[in-house]
Homo-oligomer: A and B are copies of this chain.
Amino acid sequence: MSNYTARQVHLISRPVGMPIQENFKLVEVELAAPQDGEVLVKNHYMSVDPYMRGRMRAEAVYAQPYGLNEVMYGAAVGEVIESADSSLQAGDIVLNGAAWQDKFVAKASAVNKLEPFDPKQISLYLGTLGMPGLTAYVGLTKYGEPKQGETVFVSAASGAVGANVCQIAKLKGCRVIGSVGSDEKAQWLQDECGVDATINYKTCGDLTSALLQAAPDGVDVYFENVGGEHLQAALTAMNPFGRIAACGMIASYNNAEPQPGPNNLMLIVGKKIRINGFIVSDHADMRPQFLEEMVAWIKQGKIKSRETLADGIDNAVDAFLGLFGGKNFGKMIVKL
């Protein structure tokens, strides 16, 4: 019989506008031993992602909201400590949806055994090889449909999703322009990821002018992570029959009051633009193909990953809040 204590982060009040530490509480709970068919897992890494802000609202659009005074959920990579199911054994590495806690007991069928391509890089399954990487892959290839020689504009370009979009677009033979919030991120995108041009949206002045200058041949594909001014600039710079893969609009996630949108939506008609909103969970069918291509690209050094690691569950909330100030450089991960 196990005798474990788990530490969990609970949502104790719903944020209004930007979340604050007081919306969350670190709670210790005793875990019962795994029953027949269950496993006890110790999480090594957990993910914090912008989408989690949406789950903190009372009404969620495409998924259940987080419950109050309950542990939140999200992606994590852990290791089986005790198993009461024949499909898993102690030492197995598992991808799971039970983040925001350092240990948990669950049905064995609720976790996914990983065969990591490199045991030293299991955190990649939360980023480049996980949901953010698949998001980049699906959004760019299925909805952006970039053709060789076209120009791809990526917002939040050094983020967990954006950096993968940039690099996949380069592999597809495109000219890539990335928008980021610091010169250091811009440098990394250009030096390490082969991005052709970068815009620091915080210092560039008028974003539309900056984009028009960076994209003399116009923009064919816009990968939308931000919304607001970025969308407005992209619409102005886009070529006829341009495609927008709308993955997120982080600029608006923490607005207590809705903010007006771009003033040039009419261009959607005249330029015959296609916009596809999408949620990665609808595209699980593309995961095997994604993993095969992505692992190959990583091994060949064609896809670089950058992570920002926070240390311990005590810092998980801080890591999450940092996403909205652009404190992450690449994928933000909490090492448990």
Contact = CB atoms under 8 A, between A and B. Distances in A.
Interface of A: 54, 61-62, 227, 231, 240, 246-249, 252-253, 258-279, 282
Given A249-B265, A261-B262, A266-B227, A277 B279 contact: no
Contacts of A248: 269
B277 A61 contact: no
Given A62-B240, A240-B62, A269 B262 contact: no
B274 A276 contact: yes
B282 A277 contact: no
A231 B249 CA distance: 18
A275 to B, nearest CB: 4
A61 B246 CA distance: 23
Contact of A275 (B261, B268, B270): B268
Most buried by B among A231, A260, A261, A269: A269
Contacts of A262: 260-261, 265
A61 B249 contact: no
A226 B112 CA distance: 48
Contacts of A274: 274-277
Nearest to A273: B277
5 contacts: A62-B272, A249-B266, A268-B275, A271-B277, A274-B275
A328 to B, nearest CB: 20
Contacts of A247: 269
A259 B268 CA distance: 15
A240 to B, nearest CB: 7
Nearest to A60: B270
Nearest to A276: B274
Contacts of A266: 227, 249, 252-253
A154 to B, nearest CB: 16
Nearest to A264: B258
Given A61-B267, A260-B263, 19 more contacts: A61-B271, A62-B240, A227-B266, A246-B268, A247-B269, A248-B269, A249-B265, A249-B266, A252-B265, A253-B266, A260-B260, A261-B263, A261-B264, A268-B275, A272-B282, A273-B275, A274-B274, A274-B275, A275-B275
